Structure 1
Amino acid sequence: MKYSIIRWCSCLALSSTLIAPAFSQGTLPPNAAASVNGVIISNDTVEQGIRSALAQGQKDSPELRKAVLGKLIEISLLSQQADKNGLADSEKANRQLALIRQNYLADLELSTFIANNPVSDADVQAEYNREIASLGAQGMIVEYKVSDIAVATEADAQAALARIKKGESFDKVAKSVSLAPNKTQGGLVGWVQAGQTLPQIAAVLVTLSKGQVSPAPIQMPQGWYLIKLDDKKSSKPPSFEQAKAGIRNGLVQKKQFEYLSQLRQGAAIVVQ
Structure 2
Amino acid sequence: MQMKALFPDVVVNGTNIASADIAAEAQNHEAPRGKPGIAWRKAAHALVVRQLLLQEAARRGIDADPQELEPGRFETEGEALVRGVLEDAIQTAPPSDEETRTLWQADPDKYRAPPLWSVSHILVACDHADDAELERAKTRAQSLAERVSAKPESFGRIARAESDCPSKSRDGLLGQIGPGDTVPEFEAVLRHLGEGEVTPQPIQTRHGWHVIRLDAKAEGAVLPFEIVAPKLRAAMEKRAWGQAVRDFVQGLAASAEIVGVDLSQPL
Q: Flag the structure with higher helix content.
A: 1
TM-score grouping bracket, smaller chain normalisation: 0.3 to 0.5
**TM-score scaled by structure 2?**
0.36
Larger RCO (CA within 8 A; separation ≥ 6): 2
The structure with the larger Rg is 2
